Amino acid sequence: MAPSAVAVGRVQAELLPQLKQLLPSRSGVVLQLVQASAAHGVGGGAVLDALAQAVGATPSQEPTQKGEGEREGERKVKRKLTAHKQQPPPQQRFDGGELARRILGVGARSVGTADEPAVGVMGSRMVQALLGLPLAETGRLLRSLCSMQPTELLALARDSLGSRALEVAMAARDTEGIALPLLDAVCTGAGKLARSRSSTYVLQAAFEAAAVEQKGTLLE
């Protein structure tokens, strides 16, 4: 019998304070908690905060809710980026990908490099589950992922596990233009990605999310 939302909430209350101790040896348990939380839409923000602390990411400075002025500002940035296909300025690059990189690396068999982040099965699945939650709860993770350098994003797109996370990221209900740097990186590197089997679904997701003028880049 599948757990109820109430049951998931109780498990969260018990396990979230212990996530740092559980993650190294019981990552499967943590993954199940993340997936159950996402499936029931329960406490996604609390789960992400606890997971961020467990992997040693810098505490978030992002406010929980944005005012209308901030949202309108982000919409203007989105329109500008869509029109000019530019990366956001450095001050808008959030944490440079630290949070996403650390979570993706959970269970990875390699250390990774500056241009090729390490991705583990558990880490990829955690990111996928969290990105399925409303942005109001886990937008911090999407912002982090999309603030990675383009070379890192392309490396993830070519990775069998990383590509799954990017596919979910581009399918997220992003009304604030958070994923535009990711979309731009994929469109710009489409020629290289076309030679990678793992990138197939990433390119498809990018095509579905791209503006009309960007679709041509993907088809070239």
| Domain count across the chain | 1
Confirm if 99 and 62 have CB atoms less than 8 A apart: no
pLDDT in tens, 117-169: 999 999 999 999 999 888 888 899 999 999 999 999 999 999 999 999 999 99
Give whichever of 172-181, 194-203, 207-216 has the largest mean pLDDT: 194-203
Please indicate, yes or no, if residue 177 is contained in any of the structural domains.
yes
- CA 183/CA 106 separation, integer angstroms: 25
Helix, strand, coil percentages for the chain (3-state, nearest 5)? 70, 0, 30
- CA 138/CA 206 separation, integer angstroms: 21
pLDDT in tens, 44-53: 999 999 999 9
Please indicate, yes or no, if residue 57 is contained in any of the structural domains.
no
Please indicate, yes or no, if residue 20 is contained in any of the structural domains.
no
**pLDDT at site 11:** 93
For the residues 159-187, what does the mean pLDDT come to? Answer: 90
**pLDDT at site 1:** 55
73's CB contacts (< 8 A; 6+ apart) are none
Here the CATH number for the domain that contains residue 209 is 1.25.10.10
Who has greater pLDDT, 145 or 111?
Answer: 145
Confirm if 16 and 46 have CB atoms less than 8 A apart: yes
**pLDDT at site 66:** 46
Please indicate, yes or no, if residue 162 is contained in any of the structural domains.
yes
Instruction: Provide the residue range defining the domain that includes 198.
Output: 79-219
Please indicate, yes or no, if residue 158 is contained in any of the structural domains.
yes
Please indicate, yes or no, if residue 137 is contained in any of the structural domains.
yes
**pLDDT at site 60:** 65
Please indicate, yes or no, if residue 71 is contained in any of the structural domains.
no
pLDDT in tens, 57-104: 877 655 444 444 445 544 544 544 444 445 444 434 678 899 999 999
Please indicate, yes or no, if residue 96 is contained in any of the structural domains.
yes
